[in-house]
């Protein structure tokens, strides 16, 4: 069998060669594009499913976060109770009962609008103010340290929360009206959130 000579011009033969190659590569690229598109669609579907799962988990974890916050608050309250019990154990019983009665009466007068979270009693010494010491200060003749008479005083520090500043002021006034304390001073009253409610955190110092 004899082969027939190709009589086509070289330019046409080159064009046919390029066309054949282009068709072959076009088919390959179509397959690649189809595969890539399928993979992308599969990934998008998986991503959508993951987003749905994440939204479901977030909705379920909401109550858990609230429970965790409540547990933290309860732990703080338990710690406050332990501190109160420690103070009650270390303090003189008659003095303790008297102070607790005064504090309880002051809170009851505010119809539950004030709560005492922590309390602490400390002792300190201070110079006794006498007529001689005042006269010495006026004349410039200050007494020596040996001549200074010191007196023992007790300081009661109260920390707690109230519904507003008016309740804090009423609580402080009730402590002053008890007549037991030499001085009752409101050290601070700041805004704070307690159980998702806006309250006032206060610090009161009583000297007796």
Q: Which residues pair with 199 in a beta bridge?
A: 192
Q: Which residues pair with 125 in a beta bridge?
A: 152
Mean predicted lDDT score pLDDT of the chain: 80
**Once rounded to an integer, what is the mean pLDDT over residues 130-145?**
60
Q: How does DSSP assign 2-59, residue by residue?
A: PPPP--S-HHHHHHHHHHHHHHHHHHHHHHHHHHHHHHHHHHHHHHHHHHHHHHHHHH
Residue 24: both structure tokens together? 């072959």
Which range, 3-7, 11-15, 63-67, 168-172, is most confident? 168-172
pLDDT score for 35: 83
Domains of the chain with bracketed CATH: 77-207 (3.30.70)
Question: Of all residues in the chain, what percent carry a pLDDT higher than 90?
Answer: 32
Cα end-to-end distance, the chain, whole Å:
130
**Once rounded to an integer, what is the mean pLDDT over residues 48-60?**
81
Return the higher-pLDDT residue of 70 and 204.
Answer: 204
Residue 135 pLDDT level (bands cut at 50, 70, 90) = low
Residue 57 pLDDT level (bands cut at 50, 70, 90) = confident
What is the length of the chain?
208
Lowest model confidence (mean pLDDT) among 117-126, 146-155, 164-173: 146-155
Sign (positive or negative) of CA dihedral 184, 188, 190, 193: negative
Return the higher-pLDDT residue of 90 and 159.
Answer: 159
pLDDT score for 85: 56
Q: How does DSSP assign 147-184, residue by residue?
A: GPPEEEEEEEEEEEEESSHHHHHHHHHHHHHTS--SEE
pLDDT score for 89: 56
What pTM value is reported for the model? 0.52
**Once rounded to an integer, what is the mean pLDDT over residues 173-183?**
94
């Amino acid at each position: 069998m004899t082969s027939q000579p190709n009589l086509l011009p070289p330019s046409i033969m080159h064009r046919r060669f390029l066309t054949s190659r282009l068709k072959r590569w076009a088919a390959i690229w179509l397959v690649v594009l189809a595969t890539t598109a399928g993979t992308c669609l599969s990934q998008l579907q998986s991503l959508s499913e993951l987003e749905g799962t994440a939204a479901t988990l977030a909705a379920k974890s909401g109550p858990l976060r609230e429970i965790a916050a409540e547990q933290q608050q309860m732990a703080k309250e338990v710690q406050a109770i332990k501190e109160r019990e420690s103070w009650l154990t270390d303090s003189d019983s008659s003095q303790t009962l008297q102070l607790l009665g005064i504090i309880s009466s002051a809170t009851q007068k505010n119809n539950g609008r004030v709560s005492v979270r922590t309390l602490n009693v400390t002792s300190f010494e201070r110079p006794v103010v006498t007529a001689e010491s005042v006269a010495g200060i006026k004349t410039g003749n200050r007494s020596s340290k040996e001549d200074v008479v010191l007196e023992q005083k007790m300081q009661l520090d109260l920390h707690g929360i109230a519904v507003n500043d008016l309740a804090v002021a009423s609580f402080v006034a009730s402590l002053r009206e008890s007549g037991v304390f030499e001085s009752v001073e409101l050290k601070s009253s700041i805004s704070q959130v307690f159980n998702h409610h806006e309250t006032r955190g206060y610090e009161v110092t009583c000297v007796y």
